[in-house]
């Protein structure tokens, strides 16, 4: 399942991957701000519900998952 509601916006993703001055702390701050939107909160609730019922695997094509949206998303899923 791909839940687009909890992925970073195209604008944020492009900035992070293509701007040499971009850093992970700033990416995290911006992504967490995006996750406060109503659709994003609903997507997080859905993901938390799935994770409460069975193991959930988060996938990414990032070469550095520890410094990608998956690391941030995982923390938000675990907050439940």
| Cα torsion 40, 42, 45, 46: sign | negative
**Three-class SS state of 8:** coil
Contact 22, 31 (CB under 8 A): no
Contact 28, 70 (CB under 8 A): no
What span, in angstroms and rounded, lies between the C-alpha atoms of 44 and 77?
7
DSSP secondary structure letter of residue 47 = H
49: pLDDT strictly greater than 90: yes
66: pLDDT strictly greater than 70: yes
Q: Where are the domains of the chain?
A: 4-79
User: What is the pTM for the complete model shown?
Assistant: 0.89
| Mean pLDDT within 50-56 | 89
């Amino acid at each position: 399942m791909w839940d687009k509601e909890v992925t970073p916006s195209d604008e944020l993703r492009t900035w992070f991957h293509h701007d040499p001055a971009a850093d992970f702390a700033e990416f995290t701050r911006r992504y967490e701000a995006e996750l406060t939107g109503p659709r994003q909160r609903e997507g997080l609730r859905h993901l938390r519900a799935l994770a409460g019922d069975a193991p959930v695997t988060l996938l990414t094509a990032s070469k550095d998952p520890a410094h990608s949206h998956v690391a941030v998303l995982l923390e938000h899923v675990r907050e439940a």
